[in-house]
Each structure stands twice: as C-alpha cells, then as structure tokens.
Amino acid sequence: MKMMIYVGLLAVLLAPAISDAQERRQPGRGTERTAPVPKITEEQATKIALERIPGEVTEVKIERKRGKHVYAVEIQTPKGEKDVFVDIQTGEIVGVE
C-alpha cells in the first residue's frame, strides 16, 4: 500500500517536468533542429550580399555553414553563380563560394 502511495506521489511530482520537456522538444526525428529566429530579414541579407557581389538574386534560403545559421544568397553574375553566406543574427558575411 505504501509503495502505491509513493508511486502515485512520484507521478504527480514528475508530471509537470515531463510535460515541460515534451513541449520544448524540437520537431522532427530528434536529430533535426530548426534554425533560430533571424534578427535580420531576408531582404536585409539580400542587400548585404548584393553589396559584396553585384548581380541578380536567384534564391535565398537559410542553411548551416561554418558553424552558423546563415542566409545562403545565390547571385547570378556575368561570370557565373556565386553564393554569399550572411549570418542570420549579425548580418555579417561569413563566406562566399
């Protein structure tokens, strides 16, 4: 009887912690993570990228490069396509390919 009381009490005490942990879990299969909320907009990242590499923007998407979440801004230039990686938090260019 005492054991059932202890188990019931333990369940009542742990229920909020278990519920909170489930709410914080990232969507997906456990290995996928979502990108943090950007501090700069896609339009700002595009402007920053075009200042570095003039041309026509063909695509902008969020990727993980060099340990950071970045906007990958694809720019078509007369010499071919270039990718400019703009940090989504700071607006800093972290690389060009």
pLDDT in tens, 23-78: 555 444 444 567 689 999 999 999 999 999 999 999 999 999 878 899 999 999 99
Place 20 in a pLDDT band, splitting at 50, 70 and 90. low
Is residue 66 left, alpha or beta, with left meaning phi > 0 and alpha meaning psi from -120 to 50?
left
Amino acid at 19: S
Mean pLDDT of 7-20: 65
Range of the domain at 90: 2-96
* Closest alpha carbon to 46 in 81, 83, 77, 80: 83
Angle ∠(86,88,89) on CA atoms, nearest 5: 120
pLDDT computed for residue 35 by the predictor: 62
Q: How many domains does the chain have?
A: 1
d(CA 71, CA 18) in angstroms, rounded, equals: 35
Tell me the CATH number at 14.
Answer: 3.10.450.40
d(CA 69, CA 77) in angstroms, rounded, equals: 24
